[in-house]
Amino acid sequence: MSRVGRKPVEIPSGVTIAIEGSTLRAKGPLGERNITIPDGITCRQEGNQLIFERASDEKHVRALHGTTRALAANLVIGVSKGFEKQLELQGVGYRAELRGKNLVLSLGYSHPVVVIPPDGIAITVASPTQFSVKGIDRQVVGQVAAVIRAIRPPEPYKGKGIRYTGEYVRRKAGKAAGK
């Protein structure tokens, strides 16, 4: 039995769950989302918990058991609290600013880089070198943060670039002076 799939998903107050056939719909203070429950997995609500069970012990059904439960847990957390990825800029002259909803990054290129967030994603700039990506869909928040980081990933010699807050960048030694 899947350890993740066995755990019930706690439903916080303010979140309503509707199970319609193979669709699990969650509505909370931050919005509404739904996921499709695959064949072979059943979902039922008991009080303020969601319980996932599988119909058989076939390999593909076992693989989907924990995955479906994790997606449902992310769905519930997303509509109640939301998800956030914090990023920071490291480098002389590197800065971020918000123009409307768009993020404008100055990263040492000959031009500023404009990042247009997709629907449901909000970008906030705390300081010129720190900003965050927020939303209710964990996958989309992570993808947008990864796309922004890929514009100028941290390099190993000086550590310049965009990194997640708290990310460790392994540094390399530069050229050694010869005799």
**Domain 3-80 - what CATH class?**
alpha beta
Domain ranges of the chain: 3-80, 83-164
What are 141-146's contacts with CB under 8 Å, separation 24+? 141/83, 141/84, 141/85, 142/83, 142/85, 144/85, 144/117, 144/118, 145/85, 145/87
* CATH homologous superfamily for the domain 83-164: Ribosomal protein L6 (3.90.930.12)
What pLDDT, in 10s, does the model give residues 23-39? 999 999 999 999 999 99
**Measured distance CA(38)–CA(10) in Å, rounded:** 21
Angle, in degrees to the nearest 10, between helices 138-151 and 59-80: 80
- pLDDT category of residue 178 using cuts at 50, 70 and 90: low
- pLDDT category of residue 179 using cuts at 50, 70 and 90: low
- pLDDT category of residue 107 using cuts at 50, 70 and 90: very high
Distances (CA, A) of 52 to 6, 43, 67, 167: 7, 5, 10, 34
Alpha helices in the chain (DSSP H): 3-6, 59-80, 138-151
178, two tokens: 């010869």
Is 80 exceeded by the pLDDT of residue 1? no
